[in-house]
Amino acid sequence: MPLWLLGGLARAVTDAITGRRVGYIVNMILNYTNVCVVGCRFCAFYRRPGSPDAYRIPPRRAAAMVEEHWRRYRIRQVLFQGGVDPSIPLEYYEEAFRGIKAATRGEVAIHGLSAVELEWLARSSRMSLRELVSRLREAGLDSVPGAGAEILSERVRGLISPRKITGERWIQVMDTVMAMGVPVSATMVYGHVETLWERAEHLLRLLELQRRRGLVMAFIAWNFEPGNTELGREIPYPAGGTELLRSVAVARLVFRHEIPWIQAGWLTAGERLGQVSLDYGANDWGGTLYGERVLPAAGVPLPLLVRRSIERVIRGAGYEPYERDNWYRPIAGREAAEAEPRAGGAAA
């Protein structure tokens, strides 16, 4: 099917679901550590334990960083994730999460810890996944990001991340998380060693998971960025823009209304292609992502986006922007478009 026709069909489906409105969230990423024992071949961010440039942000400092962004930019969400470091105890996360909630008066949602991090943390804490999630929820966890899915094919995972949990285990972890009432997002990293069939299988497995639990809030497709990665020696160039547009359109036609929000994927593809992806079925821009460290490690420059610039980009593509919260609910009133600075801060 021609790409333009695929995009037109996908956009028609999105129009029937959410119309011409496109959401975005003001958020930050807190990469609390770069220490990781998994060693994915597509990752330029991680460092081995003991590496001279390894770091771990102390819980109090993490809370202070989130508070600073909350006061300056009035962020609504912190994406809290890092590497898999089995030496970090559960109490670290509990202290950090409680500190973030206290410092921001409960206004900042914690969207944190991938299925991979949760699985390793449960093992290192010698407790069940359900017990772990229960404790993290009590400390302040609101939702779980979809990182670590990549492509849910064991062939692919064996080539790009052989020490990571299996695709089947990723599904099981997310199933358990949602069974406990915690919403999640879902992702796909394409443009490396996967086949088109494996991409399709990935989407269908996510759809099956959503039909079983119903708490997958959104889908995000990222292209593999080869810079400074081991896998980049074999695949030196990222996938082109047509691959993002096709991935977005196909995802919309597969998920339809069952996963209502599909993000534009601008973070790796750039703002202009992000705008075009709206015509191919995307209906959420994602976030401002203050503090992102993972993609810069792969050599991807990131623009500084604030409310006004995001809204300008969305309107420039012919759509109506609105600010949302962590759960994809619109933020009511002029508060969204004209967030006032907190004491000592600057307007976003």
Is 134 marked as a binding-site residue? no
- Compute the distance between CA of residue 143 and CA of residue 273 in angstroms, rounded to an integer: 28
Q: Two tokens at 333? A: 């009133």
Beta bridge partners of 183: none
24 with 324: CB under 8 angstroms? yes
Half-sphere exposure of 277 (CA within 13 A, CB side): 36
**87 marked among binding-site residues:** no
Token pair recorded at residue 244:
């993002």
58-90 in b/e burial notation, b at 16+ Cβ within 10 A?
ebeebbebbbbbbbbbbbbbbbbbbbbbeebeb
User: Residue 42, annotated ligand binder?
Assistant: yes
Q: 25: which strand partners? A: 287
CB-based contact 110:88 (threshold 8 Å): no
For residue 40, say whether it is annotated as part of any ligand binding site: yes
Residues present in the chain in total: 348
Q: How many CA atoms lie within 13 A of 250 on its CB side?
A: 19
Q: Which residues of 33-54 are buried (b: 16+ CB within 10 A; e: fewer)?
A: bbbbebebbbbbbbbeeeeeeb
- Tell me if 36 is assigned to a ligand binding site: yes
Annotated binding residue 114: yes
Binding residues for [4Fe-4S] cluster: 36, 40, 43
Binding residues for S-adenosyl-L-methionine: 42, 150
Binding residues: 36, 40, 42-43, 114, 150
Binding residues for (3R)-3-methyl-D-ornithine: 114
